[in-house]
Amino acid sequence: MRQSLAHADALYNFARWLARDPVEAEDLVQETYMRELGAAHQFDPGSNLKAWLFRILRNAFIDRRRRSQREGSPPSVEDLDADGERAEPAMGELQLDQIRALVAEDVSAAVHALPESFRTVILLDLEGMTEAEVANVLGCATGTVKSRLSRARAVLRDRLAAYRQYAEEGSR
Amino acid sequence: MDCGKARELSLDGLRQRLPSELAAELREHLSGCAPCSNHAEAERVLSEVLDASLPQYAAPLALKRRLAASWPASTPAAAPPRGIGRPAWASAMAMAAAVTLVVVGSTAFFVQQRSELRQLESETVNDHLRMLGGAPLAQVTGGLHEVKPWFGGKLDFAPAVRFAGNDDFPLQGGAVEPFLDRRAAVFVYKRRLHTASLFVVQDNGLAFPTSLRTRTVRGFSVALWKEGDQGYALVSDLNLRELLDLQAEIASP
């Protein structure tokens, strides 16, 4: 499946956001392609190659995190139950304006600060995947993706508004 | 439709993924429900911010070269019939070289295209700052009908701009300014105290995107798009939502 190499940029971008480290991101992409080659016989040619590759990459990332935990690293914020986060009430126009004024640095920080499960659905959604495709990557039901995406976006909006408010207070 | 359902569908509605009947129901609910309308607006703003400001990382060329070099020479579908092909090692090398060319070539194209877009965005902001610095504007007491003929003889193309301004975005005037290696027709619109500049150029050799692309550059909202053989660059210190309102007016047929 030589065409899978055409997804290298998208996979690397996803890996960068998951791992937060360029070296680990490269390792993850390489591992993804190695795993793909090893499991090529399991791929159904009629199914979605991109979603399959993203699923392999995410599984590789989770395996690495589990290994590092077994080796004694403390659990990170990634491991906390993201379902505990609750959406905030609807925003006012002022908060929306605050979010519009954010710069790339703030947006990056807010996305990085999300739990892994939330970050993943946000990134896959930005990749243009449908909820069914995201469900394929995560190995869960479409309804789960819908509710997780909704909660992830609510948490992100809340954090982005908080960043802007903090920046404005700091500049006074 | 109740509020719970409306909020559940608002993101799909934003992405135009709803069947027309459901989309109409959603629109009807939003038009009469301020909290849900506010929620939908919040979803739209978040999407805009993520699209415009979340960095995208391209895989390093070295990684792509490594991937291509380590890729198997052939797959069953691509393997030549037995007995008439080249030796296996030759096929392997040819395949690796071909994959390297494809991957490295596509990466180079991707990187170059991205870099050219950045150059266009940066040039747009620079030129807008020059306009704000006091470049002379053509008189436009008669609106677009006075501005467009004014360009005659100053440009080697006729800028395809139909939006003559309205109460929200009155047209202030026109100018001819350098834009990279060519001359641009500039249309200046106002929004309250904000100024928005629209640069129109012949796009040959420039990387104007075929679909609308927006980004925030040095605090300015920038929109780039292409129509026919002309490239459009719209820039202002307006927020992205208001800039998009103006862009919609300009691009409206």
**Would B51 be classed as within a structural domain?**
yes
Q: What is the pLDDT of residue A16?
A: 92
Q: What is the CATH number of the domain that holds B225?
A: 3.40.1000
Question: Chain A within 8 Å of B66 (Cβ-Cβ)?
Answer: yes
**Would B89 be classed as within a structural domain?**
yes
Give me the architecture of the A1-79 domain, per CATH. Answer: Orthogonal Bundle (1.10)
Question: Chain A within 8 Å of B77 (Cβ-Cβ)?
Answer: no
pTM of the model: 0.54
Range of the domain at B21: 3-72+85-109
Domain covering A89-172 in this structure, CATH number? 1.10.10.10
Q: What is the pLDDT of residue A66?
A: 82
Question: Chain A within 8 Å of B105 (Cβ-Cβ)?
Answer: no
Element (H, E) at B249: helix B240-251
**Would B114 be classed as within a structural domain?**
no
- What is the phi/psi pair of residue B236, to 5°? -170, 165
Is this prediction's ipTM beyond 0.90?
Answer: no
Percentage of residues in chain B with pLDDT exceeding 90?
Answer: 21
Q: Chain A partners of B45 at a C-beta cutoff of 8 Å?
A: 96, 99-100
The stretches in chain B having pLDDT less than 50 are: 75-87, 89, 111
Question: Chain A within 8 Å of B51 (Cβ-Cβ)?
Answer: yes
Residue A45 has what DSSP assignment?
T
Question: Chain B within 8 Å of A35 (Cβ-Cβ)?
Answer: no
**How far is it between the farthest Cα atoms of chain A?**
61
Q: Are residues B247 and B124 in the same domain?
A: yes
Q: Are residues B54 and B99 in the same domain?
A: yes
Confidence of residue A93 (pLDDT cuts 50, 70, 90): low
Q: Are residues B128 and B23 in the same domain?
A: no
Q: Are residues B152 and B237 in the same domain?
A: yes
Of the listed ranges A94-98, A110-114, A121-125, the least confidently predicted one is A94-98
CB B171: neighbour CB atoms within 10 A? 20
Q: Are residues B65 and B123 in the same domain?
A: no
Question: Chain B within 8 Å of A145 (Cβ-Cβ)?
Answer: no
Confidence of residue A105 (pLDDT cuts 50, 70, 90): confident
Task: Count structural domains, chain B.
Answer: 2
Distance from CA of A93 to the nearest CA of B (A): 8
Q: Are residues B157 and B195 in the same domain?
A: yes
Which residues partner with B232 through β-bridges?
Answer: B200, B225
- What is the phi/psi pair of residue B57, to 5°? -105, 125
Taking only the tens place, the pLDDT of each residue in B127-167 is 888 888 776 666 555 567 777 777 877 888 889 999 988 99
**Would B80 be classed as within a structural domain?**
no
What are the domain boundaries of chain A? 1-79, 89-172
Distance from CA of A154 to the nearest CA of B (A): 9
Element (H, E) at B190: strand B182-191
Ramachandran category for residue B205: left, alpha or beta (phi over 0 → left; psi -120 to 50 → alpha) = left
Comparing alpha-carbon positions, the chain A residue that sits nearest to B49 is A100
Closest to A9 (Cβ–Cβ): which among B17, B59, B71? B59
